[in-house]
A = this chain, B = another copy of it.
Amino acid sequence: MAVREYGHDVTLVGDPAALKPLLEDSRRGRGRLRVPAAEAKRLHEKIHVEVATQVVGMDETPLEAIRKKKGASICVAFDLLKQGRVDAVASAGNSGATLAAAVKSLGRLKNIARPGIAGIFPTLQQPLVMMDVGANVDCRPNHLFQFAVMGAAFSQIQFGIESPRIGLLSIGEEGGKGNALVKQTHELLKQSNLNYIGNVEGKDTFQGNVDVIVCDGFVGNVCLKLSEGLAEAMVAMLRDEIAKNIKSKVGYLLTRDAFSNFKKRTDYAEYGGAPLLGCNGAGIICHGRSNALAIKNAVRVGAELVRSRINDRITAMLDGSRHLQILDEKVAEATGVPIP
């Protein structure tokens, strides 16, 4: 699907024995993408396989797994990127291991202390970027400031927003509200040249009045999973109620298109995956339950990250505000709020 739609070369990294039957089917025009055999053959010239002999399981401790399993598919994939043989890596595997392998193989961008994951949320208007959604659980204000820069760069290239409105996730709109981390980060962002609109609350997330929401990876990950869980539960509750009588069942048939459009609008698969930003290279962290559509879109997002030179953009933005990087201690002093 990705090769046909975008024309990119795609390299599959994994166990050849597992990949072979799938590739055979696909080459013959069978499999998921039903195309004439001639076209299938042509498409397959752009599909490559690189052997990986090991796998990092979903429950393994990321750092340990990466250290022990040099032949794991995720390590092989990022090594290919480091060698310049691929331009971006997408993975639906253990996300901690993806992060660890990326940092190990690629290294961090200049002035980035902590690479992070940018989650994408649907809203009533354009999609929203939330960063970090899981890479860093205990953060300092500087880390959040860097998330703001990276999130803004991604919002620019992915959604074409020239000057993304950046909000700091808190529990009240006034700058004085929040925990120690948020209060300090507020001071840092206020002094930056970013389009910082101040604190935002969870209820603003889905209204479309903010483009980038900054938070630590613990809070961001909770938000991501909570939203997913609530969306599923709401649909289940509604289905429950509709199934209770024949009249509403008929009504459901009539509204089915609306429901499926709605589903499409809120489907994570449409966004492909969450970019891992802050490394010397492009990584995409896909949902563990990714379907073919999600992986195809992840290939698109990866290509866009590379083509738009997002890393050069991030570095330039940080170079312009490097003086803020050393402000942590000063802010602590000025606000009387200790560094968390």
Write out the residue numbers on chain B whose beta carbons fall within 8 Å of the beta carbon of A179.
137-138, 216, 218
Bound-complex Cα distance A237 to B267 (A): 13
Q: Does A123 interact with chain B (Cβ within 8 Å)?
A: yes
Asked whether B137 lies within 8 Å of A221 as measured between CB atoms, the reply is no
Bits for A214-227, please: 1 = Cβ < 8 Å to B, else 0: 01111101111111
Write out the residue numbers on chain B whose beta carbons fall within 8 Å of the beta carbon of A226.
202-203, 205, 223, 226-227
Asked whether A237 lies within 8 Å of B265 as measured between CB atoms, the reply is yes
Q: How many whole Å from A217's CB to the nearest CB in chain B? A: 8
Assuming the contacts A205-B229, A218-B171, asked whether A248 and B241 have C-beta atoms less than 8 A apart, the reply is no
Q: Does A320 interact with chain B (Cβ within 8 Å)?
A: no
In this complex, the member of A234, A244, A259 whose beta carbon has the largest number of chain B beta carbons within 10 angstroms is A234
Q: How many whole Å from A63's CB to the nearest CB in chain B? A: 12
Write out the residue numbers on chain B whose beta carbons fall within 8 Å of the beta carbon of A206.
229-230, 232-234
Please provide the chain A residues from 229 to 249 with a CB less than 8 Å away from any CB of chain B in the complex.
229-234, 236-238, 241-242, 244-245, 247-248
Q: How many whole Å from A106's CB to the nearest CB in chain B? A: 24
Write out the residue numbers on chain B whose beta carbons fall within 8 Å of the beta carbon of A227.
202, 226, 230
Tell me the number of copies of this protein. 2
Bound-complex Cα distance A227 to B255 (A): 25
Bound-complex Cα distance A227 to B201 (A): 11
Bound-complex Cα distance A10 to B328 (A): 52
Q: Does A266 interact with chain B (Cβ within 8 Å)?
A: yes
Write out the residue numbers on chain B whose beta carbons fall within 8 Å of the beta carbon of A45.
none
Q: How many whole Å from A107's CB to the nearest CB in chain B? A: 25
Assuming the contacts A174-B59, A203-B225, A225-B202, asked whether A259 and B241 have C-beta atoms less than 8 A apart, the reply is yes
Asked whether A258 lies within 8 Å of B230 as measured between CB atoms, the reply is no
Asked whether B203 lies within 8 Å of A234 as measured between CB atoms, the reply is no
Bound-complex Cα distance A176 to B182 (A): 25
Q: Does A124 interact with chain B (Cβ within 8 Å)?
A: yes
Q: How many whole Å from A290's CB to the nearest CB in chain B? A: 16
| 27 cross-chain CB contacts under 8 A | A61-B176, A123-B233, A124-B233, A124-B237, A169-B222, A171-B222, A178-B218, A182-B218, A201-B222, A202-B225, A202-B226, A204-B229, A215-B222, A218-B219, A222-B222, A222-B223, A227-B230, A234-B234, A237-B265, A238-B258, A241-B257, A245-B258, A251-B251, A251-B252, A252-B254, A252-B255, A340-B340
